[in-house]
Chains A and B, each alone.
Chain A
Amino acid sequence: MEDFLTGTALLFTNPIGIGIFVGGLVGGLVFGAIPGLNALTLAAVLLPFTAWIPAEYAIMLYGVIYVSGVYGGAITAILFNIPGSVENAPTAFDGYPMTRKGEPSKAIGYAVTCSAIGGTLSAILMMIATEPIADFAVSTFGPIEITALIFFGLTVVAGVGSKSLAKGWLSLGLGLTIGVVGGDPVGATPRYTFGTLYLTGGIGFIPLILGLFAVSEVFIQGQRLVRGSYEAPKLSVSYPSLTEFWAMKWAVVRSTVIGWFSGILPGVGATLAAFLSYNEAVRWSKHPERFGTGEAEGVVAPETANNAATGAAMIPLLALGLPGGALTAMMIGVFNLHDMEVGPLIMIEAPELVWILFASMFWASLAILVLGMVESKGIVHLLRIPFTMLAPGILVFSTIGAYALRGNIFDVYTMFIAGIAGYFLRRSDYSVPAIVMGVILGQIGENSLSQALTILDYNFWGFFTEPVSAVFCGVGILTIVWGIARRARQYFGS
């Protein structure tokens, strides 16, 4: 507690510290909300400049950007079906349908509150138990367990967003196939690249999600507008009631735990946290068929988890020097710029730096709650802009987002092709969420599968002899059987 108060005092007694904190908070929110230009872009732009500010404030800036950027991306995901960054993609699955139902403010209210709760709990846990939990997680979760976890996640994903189980699995398979394009994770052997340099690095994920969500949405609504059947989303500024929040308590607890443990695992981070948490929300729900149609829990789960992962991601970074994702990897760069090395000794050598980081992430999570509450009432009025003007705006912003990340025009073509494909797939009841989750989980899954098989000497039964992976594999198989049984009951009667 004393350390936390010291960190807080260091943060708020210096005008430079306050300025950097506020700048990081607003910058993360703004960049997180611009499609393609996520908080990572801001972090990359600022990296060279951090050499001129004190180390503790430089690290604090990155912690704050991380927290606010992860929340910022939820706003456009909810209002316009444009996830600001990858970890906000599952928020769009139900957030945007809530907007179409006339509940944008409610969806943003859930997102902001749950982001704040997830972030705050995560910051508290981070302060209490950095070292022991890092040791436990890193020693328990290796490639075998991560592969099993991904397998389990995939079995749940197939049931999301489509009325037909077969179409759900085909959507997932399409996503997994898209994820295969590029070099394989072991030998970087080119796969499905057709000899082009562009495809060697794989299909860009940001252009893909911008195409599947935002562009396909413009095509669908644009076609309705042209045919005269377009209906503008209804506008309401009702914040979720306390009773409604209370009904989400288990979803919040579950998602915080999932987000936290995903955040600890190196290389996994907030993205997988959001996707797994969404999967679990579907699996535990009494009405899984409602997901994808505007279910509030579909916003609560990913937003709690992705923010819960932010604090947890600091644990392997500080305790072991292992980054959980791109932004935490940049933080290592900040440490290096100040001639410091992250690792177990950092807590002893520079405690003030660690505690100012912990305190800033805690206060940033709370600040998001205040800012977000104000914002949720105001920002929904963006929906008053007529779709006739919104549509070109969405296309331009999406194009900038797709292009700016790698400076490659083919990313823009990819986005538009994904948009057209998304339009036809949605028309035919295929699941866009399953495609997106297939891409992200498939890439992580293949990487860990190859490592796991090497460890297990290419013996698949090894997944069932390790206790943690056996549990995940078993529950995954049961999920498949349960899905088939449910469909069979519909056809052949109970």
Chain B
Amino acid sequence: MKDRVTWEALAWCVLILGAYALSLDFDKPLPHYPPGAAFWPHIVQFGMAIAAIVLLVSRFLPQTAGDEAAETPEYIEEAPEDLAGITWRTIAVFLIPLIWAYAMHQMGFLLVTPFFLIGFTWLMGVTRWRTLLAFGFGFYLLLLVVFYKLIFTPLPMGAGFFHTINAEILAVLQ
């Protein structure tokens, strides 16, 4: 636990130093504002540097009764602390939405969303195909009605060939 605090403090230091180094690009006085565009970021970085040092110092302080009493209550669902028991499904929980976002960028919302809905629901533990298909396509239909027929929300149309296909489907829908 204490090692983790050390690593966190060091990570913050790296982040602050990186932000400071990048701020040198715009650290010059402005015509109507001599402190310049870097003035406010530097104040923030100064404050964060102090907080990071305090965090690092706290690593050497003994845990107090106050800390123990301040344990998170049971009903607060925080993320599991240990990473033991990580399976491919755990990693897929993070990866599938990212893949969906990328696929949506390339192929459009209309084409990829039903596969995402079915895939992610399956990942969450629903294994009956009838339930998966009914939910996936039922929910997709609801999305089409609400966002394409009722409130005409602009959603990703994909690129190139897929853009054309999506436009054709959209024309049929609307």
Contact = CB atoms under 8 A, between A and B. Distances in A.
Chain B binds chain A: yes
Interface in A142-196: 163-167, 169-170, 173-174, 176-177, 180, 184, 186-187, 189-192
B150 to A, nearest CB: 10
Interface stretch (A62-70, A259-267, A446-454): A446-454
Given A187-B31, A191-B37, A391 B75 contact: no
B44 A176 contact: yes
Contacts of B54: 165-166, 169
A367 interface: no
B33 A450 contact: yes
B104 A409 contact: yes
A180 B40 contact: yes
A79 B78 CA distance: 17
A343 interface: no
B90 A184 contact: no
B76 A396 contact: no
Interface string A404-423: 10010100110010011001
A231 B77 CA distance: 9
A186 B37 contact: yes
A227 interface: yes
Given A227-B85, A396-B113, A413-B101, A100 B124 contact: no
A187 B33 contact: yes
Size category, B interface: 35 or more
B151 interface: yes
Contact of A388 (B36, B44, B101, B124): B124
Interface string B90-115: 10011001101100110000000100
A224 B33 contact: no
Contact of B35 (A395, A407, A453): A453
Interface residues of A, number: 73
The B interface is mostly helix, strand or loop, or mixed, namely: helix
A450 B26 CA distance: 16
B156 to A, nearest CB: 6
A14 interface: no
Interface stretch (A18-26, A215-223, A278-286, A466-474): A215-223
Contact of A222 (B4, B62, B124): B124
Given A170-B48, A170-B55, A389-B135, A490 B67 contact: yes
Contact of A395 (B30, B47, B120): B120
A79 to B, nearest CB: 14
A294 interface: yes
Nearest to B92: A226
Contacts of B121: 388-389, 391-392
B126 interface: yes
A204 interface: no
Contact of B77 (A186, A187, A224, A458): A224
Q: Which 10 A-B pairs have the closest CB atoms?
A: A173-B48, A490-B66, A184-B37, A169-B51, A388-B124, A189-B37, A166-B55, A427-B79, A392-B120, A166-B54
